[in-house]
Structure 1
Amino acid sequence: MQTLRLGSRGQDVRILQQALALHVDGIFGPVTEEAVKFFQTRKSLVADGIVGPNTWAVLDIGQSRRTISKIILHCTATPEGRDFSVEQVRQWHLARGFSDIGYHYLVGRDGTIYAGRPESVVGAHCTGQNTCSIGVSYVGGEEADGSHRPKDTRTHAQKKALRELVASLQKKYPGATVHCHNEFANKACPSFKLCDL
């Protein structure tokens, strides 16, 4: 296997991405680099994001299970009262260079829970936390007037669905802690406090 790093492409990158339970596109981008660093840290290797002989030697090519330690809550940062589909959010994320929608779940205004990325695939929703987390977003999070001011716009149905989804994920991933995106990034997302979940 060749040494891989940010910008590498090809079949070896696909093999690496499969082993790390990433979206397999053969392009060693920032999400792949983050996953490599996380893996290297867990294996007590130098966490430089470069896949050389030492990393290849401990990489289980058959590995496909992620270790989930966090559930991270988001909003779509869209105006109150406006509906957006999972496909629209996917298109926004593709336009930003993502390989798919960044979230694992999206909760519509009517409380419907839509699947995004498969849970087995690393998300693209919270820099530095994607490898070990499940990303959950609700539609909304901003004032209706287009000012982009943060606001908790969750409908009663969204609040109920979010609570149920998070409880279900915590049963599936015992020990996983729940966080708001703003704990890891300088932004208002998800426009509510965790205590208000």
Structure 2
Amino acid sequence: MQTIRKGSRGGDVATLQHALNLIADGIFGPITDEAVRDFQRSHNLAVDGIVGPKTWATLGIGSSPNPRRIDKIILHCSATPEGEDYTVDQIRQMHLARGFTDIGYHWYITRDGKIHKGRDEAKIGAHTTGQNSHSIGVCYCGGCPLRSVKNWANQGKDTRTPAQRAAIIRLCKELKSR
């Protein structure tokens, strides 16, 4: 594999993007650069955005891939108004429209406390800049006040239902045990 960096194009870039679970368009742009730096940081490599022999080897290109080393669980809200539902499929479609390969979160918890699988845990998430390669992203439906509240979209509110709180605790305990 060739050494590649931001501005590079071609098959090696597409291979890299596929390994990082990005849309493989073969163009090493800002999203690919961010994913490379995040990967390098989480694997104790020089964080320079340049994909040379060490980064290729750590990615497992040409050999068996290295498993992800998870050291964080990052909790998110969907920024949905209180009392309103937003499905995992709606978030997936929104993320696909933004150019992600799938929903960015690994798990999504609806207001009824049901835990829905999002992106496969073996794949790098797309939920927190600089943290994706070594974390699991969990999102719950809610996080904003009622739509009737002035500037509701710019305000945060803990809207978790008792069922969501219980599900978050249960899921986080399971994830930590693994």
Query: Structure 1 regions of 5+ residues with no counterpart?
Result: 173-197
Cross-structure match for 2:71: 69
Aligned counterparts of 2:58 and 2:76: Cα–Cα separation in 1: 34
Secondary structure of residue in 1 paired with 2:169: helix
Note if 1:13 corresponds to 2:19.
no
Q: Shift of the alpha carbon at 1:64?
A: 4.2
Aligned counterparts of 1:57 and 1:153: Cα–Cα separation in 2: 44
Q: Is residue 23–residue 121 contact of structure 1 (8 Å, CA) maintained in 2?
A: yes
- Judge which range, 86-95 or 29-38, deviates more: 29-38
Q: TM-score, normalised by structure 1?
A: 0.75
Pick the aligned partner of 1:145 from 137, 144, 147: 147
Cross-structure match for 1:47: 47
Instruction: Render the CA deviation track for 1:125-152: whole Å, top value 9, x for unaligned.
Output: 0001001000000000000125222110
Query: Structure 2 regions of 5+ residues with no counterpart?
Result: none
Note if 1:93 corresponds to 2:95.
yes
Q: Is residue 9–residue 26 contact of structure 1 (8 Å, CA) maintained in 2?
A: no
Note if 1:23 corresponds to 2:29.
no
Pick the aligned partner of 1:127 from 123, 126, 129: 129
Aligned counterparts of 1:74 and 1:44: Cα–Cα separation in 2: 26
Identity %: 56
Moved over 6 A (4+): none
Structure 2 vs 1, CA of residues 3 and 107 (structure 1 numbering), >3 Å: closer, same or farther? same
Structure 2 vs 1, CA of residues 68 and 78 (structure 1 numbering), >3 Å: closer, same or farther? same
Q: Is residue 31–residue 124 contact of structure 1 (8 Å, CA) maintained in 2?
A: no
Question: Number of matched residues?
Answer: 170
Structure 2 vs 1, CA of residues 122 and 30 (structure 1 numbering), >3 Å: closer, same or farther? farther
Aligned counterparts of 1:167 and 1:154: Cα–Cα separation in 2: 18
For the aligned residue pairs, the C-alpha RMSD in angstroms reads 2.3
Structure 2 vs 1, CA of residues 46 and 9 (structure 1 numbering), >3 Å: closer, same or farther? same
Secondary structure of residue in 2 paired with 1:13: helix
Aligned counterparts of 2:66 and 2:43: Cα–Cα separation in 1: 16
Cross-structure match for 1:166: 172
Q: TM-score, normalised by structure 2?
A: 0.83
Q: Shift of the alpha carbon at 1:92?
A: 1.3
Structure 2 vs 1, CA of residues 86 and 10 (structure 1 numbering), >3 Å: closer, same or farther? farther
Q: Shift of the alpha carbon at 1:110?
A: 0.4
Instruction: Render the CA deviation track for 1:139-173: whole Å, top value 9, x for unaligned.
Output: 0000012522211001110000000000000001x
Q: Shift of the alpha carbon at 1:6?
A: 3.2
Pick the aligned partner of 2:81 from 79, 82, 87: 79
Note if 1:112 corresponds to 2:110.
no
